[in-house]
Structure 1
Amino acid sequence: MWNSLRTDAPAGLLAGVTSYRAGNGDLVHAYVARPEGPGPYPGVVLAHHLPGWDELYREFARRFADHGYIAICPDLYCRAGHGDPDDVAAAVRAAGGASDDLAVADLVAARDWLRALPTANGKVGVFGTCSGGRHALLAASKAGGFDAVADLWGGGVVAAPDALTPQQPVSVLDYTAGLDAPLLGLFGDQDQFPTPELVDRHEEELKRHGKEYEFHRYAGAGHGFFYYHRAAYRPESAMDGWAKVFTFFGRHLSTGS
């Protein structure tokens, strides 16, 4: 699916920050990127990672728009204030992390916002990396109602009892029975959060409940292997991973699929 554009096709995008009614009715910022034209287009909700609502996730949103999706990336840390993404994320970490209940509510509200657009085809996936992968899977499992979910190396999906907190009171694994969408998982075999053993445990639970999923594991890759601005970047694994994301979402979010 990579570099599959037509050179004579229109390639206009519309992108920018908007606000929408999220969890608890709060007005939350979101970055939205969409193709020009009447559509209809599938949608994808992006759950950003722990470094925050940053430039990388805006680029991710535009990449999805380039591939024919309406993408919305809510600022899950919006209630913590504004400033440099690293500083805001540090404040969220110091407060014990984002509330699972609010993160799920924000992602569900973003999904519904997408579905209501006149250019939408009605199908919406959810995508996230790192803590965002965990939040994406949590929303799809706890709330349901998404058409596909992509969890990229989501840390903490399998959580020991002593790792639970008031903000994150339940292991996402415990919600596996409620997952009602096909799941794509991408993982590095050198990752320590989650380790390959934790990915194995997650896969066993998915099999036990008869869930539709596909996991892909990358030798020589660790946590964050998509992140071109870090030493963890693995170009070949990242390119293959992006191709798998677009193939997976294309299969499950296209009209009539």
Structure 2
Amino acid sequence: MEHLTRPEGSAPEDFHVTRRGAAGLFFAGYAVAAFSAEAAPITTPDDGLIIETALIPNGAPNPLPAYVARPKTPGHHPAILVANEIFGIHDYIKDVCRRFAKLGYVAIAPDFFYRAGVNLPALSDRTQIMAVVAQATPTQVDSDVLATTSWLKAQTFVAPAKIGITGFCWGGAVVWRAAMQDPDVKAGVAWYGQLKGVIPRAAELKVPVLGLYGGLDQGISPSDVEAMRAALKAAGKTGSDLILYPDAQHGFHADYRSSYNEAAAKDGWTRAIAHFKANGVG
């Protein structure tokens, strides 16, 4: 496994951990606090792919670690930034990256919670998890997103004008904000990301976002979805839309959780890929 921090390869000063340490930065397994014993998670093989850990300069004392999956095929590939749920980078998020890579994308999942120094997916106590998540402020996270897209643009295997972002739960809100302020992002897909904070900011969207939501979500109501639709219409954001799956819960794409809804997950994925391609990310 290679760990790249610059297009021409890594220099010693790029690393604040050893190469062996970088390889083990991410949790092996599914998030303990949300895993369902009855789940049958999708497992995407890595044949034909390059899997690596990037250490991204972001102005912090230690660089931002990120899981990267990309095609072995030479060339400039479109890229997708994958923003995780509250559980950090674990097997589900890594598999989502590999799914994108199988479709010809460079997929990158930054570890937004790395500053806490906690193996977040290994925690079973939701209170402890949320305490770590709370330390990652929107300003800090948005800055890390900017650092990641800047890093992507500098890579010889990325098509710099074809960068998108998708995110799940906590990461869904990251998508909405990135579509407002990251000039390198061309389109976004937000999976059940909180809407209350972004409804008043709908007019700030610079690029189209597809929102995918569950009608049975206990934290994001159908009225929130309708309010965001209305705000987008009022702001003239015709390229953005929200889809509501009436029978789906929060986390309906997470195939390692009891909330997984296969029909909604598959339809959402198809719509997500189509949205990216329709907006020049593909």
Instruction: Confirm or deny: 8 A CA contact 2:83 2:174 kept in the other structure.
Output: yes
SS in 1 for 2:279: helix
**Aligned residue runs from structure 1 range 58-137, under 5 A:** 58-87=94-123, 91=128, 93-94=130-131, 96-122=134-160, 123-137=162-176
AA in 2 matched with 1:133: G
User: Aligned partners of 1:145 and 1:210: how far apart in 2?
Assistant: 22
Instruction: Confirm or deny: 8 A CA contact 1:80 1:91 kept in the other structure.
Output: no
- Counterpart in the other structure of 1:151: 190
SS in 1 for 2:69: strand
Instruction: Confirm or deny: 8 A CA contact 1:23 1:105 kept in the other structure.
Output: no
User: Aligned partners of 2:186 and 2:246: how far apart in 1?
Assistant: 29
Please report how far the alpha carbon of residue 141 of structure 1 lies from its aligned counterpart in structure 2 after TM superposition. 1.3
User: Aligned partners of 2:148 and 2:66: how far apart in 1?
Assistant: 9
- TM-score when scaled to structure 1? 0.84
Q: Which moved more, 1:24-33 or 1:240-249?
A: 24-33
- Counterpart in the other structure of 1:226: 253
AA in 1 matched with 2:173: R
1:206 aligns with 2:232: yes
Partner deviation per Cα, 1:196-241 (whole Å, 9 max, x = no partner): 1111111111111111212211121010111112221111111111
1:27 aligns with 2:66: no
- Counterpart in the other structure of 1:241: 268
Gaps of 5+ in 2: 1-46
User: Aligned partners of 2:142 and 2:113: how far apart in 1?
Assistant: 13
- Counterpart in the other structure of 1:215: 242
Query: Displaced runs of 4+ in structure 1, greater than 3 A?
Result: 23-26, 88-92, 142-145
Instruction: Confirm or deny: 8 A CA contact 1:225 1:233 kept in the other structure.
Output: yes
Please report how far the alpha carbon of residue 82 of structure 1 lies from its aligned counterpart in structure 2 after TM superposition. 3.6
SS in 2 for 1:44: strand
Equivalent of 2:75, from 34, 39, 47? 39
Partner deviation per Cα, 1:137-170 (whole Å, 9 max, x = no partner): 1122134431001111102x21xxxxxxxxxxxx
Please report how far the alpha carbon of residue 97 of structure 1 lies from its aligned counterpart in structure 2 after TM superposition. 4.6
Please report how far the alpha carbon of residue 32 of structure 1 lies from its aligned counterpart in structure 2 after TM superposition. 0.5
User: Aligned partners of 1:243 and 1:49: how far apart in 2?
Assistant: 20
SS in 1 for 2:253: coil
- Counterpart in the other structure of 1:178: 204
Q: Give the direction of change, closer, same or farther, for the CA distance of 1:131–1:43 in structure 2 (3 Å limit).
A: same
AA in 1 matched with 2:220: P
SS in 2 for 1:192: coil
User: Aligned partners of 1:200 and 1:85: how far apart in 2?
Assistant: 33
- Counterpart in the other structure of 2:18: none
User: Aligned partners of 1:69 and 1:13: how far apart in 2?
Assistant: 10
Instruction: Confirm or deny: 8 A CA contact 1:35 1:69 kept in the other structure.
Output: yes
Gaps of 5+ in 1: 1-10, 159-170
Aligned length: 232
